[in-house]
Amino acid sequence: MSATPPPRPTRSTGPRAPSAGPGPDRPADPDRQSAAPPRRRRPLTGAARENRAGLAFVTPTFVVVLVVVVLPILWTVLLAFQHARLVDIQGMSLFGRWTLDNFSGVFSSPGFWTSLWTTLLYTVGATAGSVVLGLVAALALRRPFRGRGLLRGSMLLPYVAPVVAVAFVWETALSPQFGIVNEWGGKLLGWDDPIAFLSTRSFEVSVLGAHFDLPLALLTVIAFETWRYFPFAFLFLLARLQAVPEVLEEAAKVDGATPSQRFRYVLLPQLMPVIALLCVLRFIMTFNKFDDVYLLTGGGSGTDVVAVRVYDFLTARFDVGAAAAQALVLAVVLMALLGVYFAFFAKRVQEEEE
């Protein structure tokens, strides 16, 4: 007989045991919930990564500008509308007693309008002189010759030398007692008496029988500013001249143009955008200039520019509010002059460039 196979186990058809999962009558297991995998963050797009990198690069610069530029300007504006003395400034609150007396005192103070006019003359003369002298130097050192590199490097000496050193050299050279300028003037030009260039407000000059007075100290300071900052214009103009194609000048030579005509119709249109930029930059820098004038004359002998008056208000009168008000007026006048320039002259320069 063959052995019969054992019976297979049959699936139970009885009631199922309750499941271990959560249900309406069974709370969820907190251990199983904590073991659930976390959601994955969506990957950043390329634009988002670029924005984050840009913010990371810009933030340090923004913080420096905020601390060094914006906050001092806001603090100056607040001080201009308050009674602020130098001895009381530590105990002052941020928003003290508001007043307009500082501005009325500035506009009614003796010598303010004369100082503003002197500042304009000084700024216009020094700006024009430095740009013109830089243009002449750039044209003279444009063509190659032996020793050109050494001469170009020496042109930068007035600009890179410390202002205290060059101011002392000028004071010594222009001294009426032992200055070399008066020594040469007496021997070569026949000067009868030495001239005090830095302490003479007006100097009478006779030309062809006509007598007129020159603001000698102011002209001397303008000459110093021109000499000191013409290398700044020289660098800009020389770089632009090096980029002018030689084909343009060669074509003008073939057409029979004279050197003055080549400069007027070929080189000058190429240089006008650079000259306009230099005029704006030098005007802003010279209008706020303090150290050159103060080191040479101390603001005396008709060289009392507004920047020196601000310093005098602060150090001689200890009036911080009046000094801040005068500095604010100086900034407003400068913005108005630049607005006039951009409204009228900038369009002409752009038209000539096109």
pLDDT in tens, 272-312: 889 988 998 999 899 888 889 999 998 888 888 888 888 88
Give yes or no for residue 166 having a pLDDT over 90: yes
- The closest of 87, 77, 105 to 324, measured between CA atoms, is 77
Q: Which two tokens stand for residue 55?
A: 């913010």
Give yes or no for residue 19 having a pLDDT over 70: no
Judge whether 66 and 75 are in contact, CB under 8 Å. Answer: no
Rounded (10°) CA dihedral 288, 171, 115, 68? 20
Amino acid at residue number 143: R
Q: How far is CA 73 from CA 37, 70, 80, 229, 320, in A?
A: 54, 5, 11, 27, 14
- pTM for the model stands at 0.76
Residue carrying structure tokens 């009631």:
15
- The closest of 350, 353, 328, 352 to 341, measured between CA atoms, is 350
pLDDT over 90 for what percent of the chain? 20
Give yes or no for residue 1 having a pLDDT over 50: no
Q: Cβ-count burial of 163 within 10 angstroms (0-12 exposed, 13-18 middle, 19+ buried)?
A: middle
pLDDT on residue 169: 92
Helix (H/G/I), strand (E/B), else coil: 66: helix
pLDDT on residue 134: 94
In this structure, of 39-53, 100-114, 206-220, 289-303, the range with the lowest mean pLDDT score is 39-53
* pLDDT tens string 236-262: 999 999 888 888 888 888 888 888 888
pLDDT on residue 349: 57
